[in-house]
Amino acid sequence: MSILINKSTRLIVQGITGRDGSFHTQKMQAYGTNIVAGTSPGKGGTEILGVPVFNTVYEAVQQTQANTSIIFVPAAFAADAVMEAADAGIKLIVCISEGVPTLDAVRAYRFAQLKGAKLIGPNCPGLMSPEQCLVGILPGQIFTKGNIGVISRSGTLTYEVVYHLTQSGMGQSTAIGMGGDPVVRLYFKELLEMLENDPETEAIVMIGEIGGNAEELAAEYIKKNVTKPVIGFIAGQAAPVGKQMGHAGAIIAGGSGTAAEKIAALEAAGVQVAGEPSDIPQMIRNLLNKRET
């Protein structure tokens, strides 16, 4: 089973005629994702890669019954694209665009929330349900179907951890890259709840990084609500205080949000924290074996 996306997902690509939009449309199509429409203002009525192009998301939804959207538009227009999708009735929006101004992200997040839409991103790699659907820019060849859920603030670490899992014979149920900006929509708590309730997810890998308090809040939630084994990894353990490490959200401010604090919070909640991504498969195997004995 999977969360959020599956074979019945009907996807719109906002910005499909741009360089990134068209490139990743091909990749998603090759994986088997059902892309039913694209949007590009002024290019309605055309077609690209066999996909009909519409001027607006509303038109696309009315014509194709799409339920999911992925956004490949410049940062200056990303918030409007999110709100357009939510207003058209799209219930899952994945915003790949990076460099979105924080106040724009706040505005888009609130609008999507009011419309009952789930938003992943911005500045995220998207999500993958192996052998079912890819909505994003994740490398499909490293994934395999299985029972390990992966949620992550880091795109590249998602790929590394999934690679190690697959090489160890451990497939994934769903992998979600949440994005590394200061403001993103679906975060650890909501995704942990979804994976906890997914009957085919047996264990969860949670990849965090320095900055903010998302991992600490997740630790509180895990302690009270999650019964499945959770393995954690925190990136930026050697980062000096005040140093931004790649992501806009990965900055330690005023001594808070350090790797040590996050690791301590997770361990206090019963989460085993890996020292290296390559350690994760064996740690999961040990926990699952312990549960069976």
Q: In what order do the strands lie in the sheet with 68-71?
A: 47-48, 51-54, 35-39, 11-14, 68-71, 92-95, 118-120
- Report the pLDDT value the prediction gives residue 254, as an integer from 0 to 100: 45
What's at 208, amino acid-wise?
Answer: G
Q: What 8-state DSSP symbol labels residue 107?
A: H
Instruction: Specify the residue for token string 């990076």.
Output: 98
- Report the pLDDT value the prediction gives residue 252, as an integer from 0 to 100: 45
Number of H helices, E strands in the chain: 9, 14
Q: Provide CATH 3.40.50.261 ranges for the chain.
A: 139-292
- Report the pLDDT value the prediction gives residue 247, as an integer from 0 to 100: 53
**What is d(CA 85, CA 1) in angstroms, rounded to the nearest whole number?**
26
- Report the pLDDT value the prediction gives residue 185, as an integer from 0 to 100: 73
- Report the pLDDT value the prediction gives residue 155, as an integer from 0 to 100: 87
Nearest of 6, 271, 293 to residue 134 by alpha carbon: 6
Angle (CA) 50 124 275, round 5°: 135
CB 3 within 8 A of CB 196: no
- Report the pLDDT value the prediction gives residue 105, as an integer from 0 to 100: 94
- The helix/strand/coil state of 57 is helix
CB 102 within 8 A of CB 75: no
Alpha helix segments (H runs only) across 137-250: 155-167, 188-197, 214-225
Q: Out of 153, 164, 247, 262, pick the active-site residue.
A: 247
Q: What is the mean pLDDT of each run of 10 residues along the chain (293 residues)?
A: 90 97 98 98 97 98 98 97 98 96 94 96 96 97 97 92 97 93 81 96 94 90 96 82 53 63 94 95 91 71
Structure tokens at 164: 């190690």
- Report the pLDDT value the prediction gives residue 56, as an integer from 0 to 100: 98
Q: Provide CATH 3.40.50.720 ranges for the chain.
A: 11-120
Backbone angles phi, psi at 130, to 5 degrees: -55, 135
Q: For 11-120, CATH number?
A: 3.40.50.720
Residues 139-292, CATH architecture: 3-Layer(aba) Sandwich (3.40)
Judge whether 247 counts as a catalytic residue.
yes
- Report the pLDDT value the prediction gives residue 187, as an integer from 0 to 100: 86
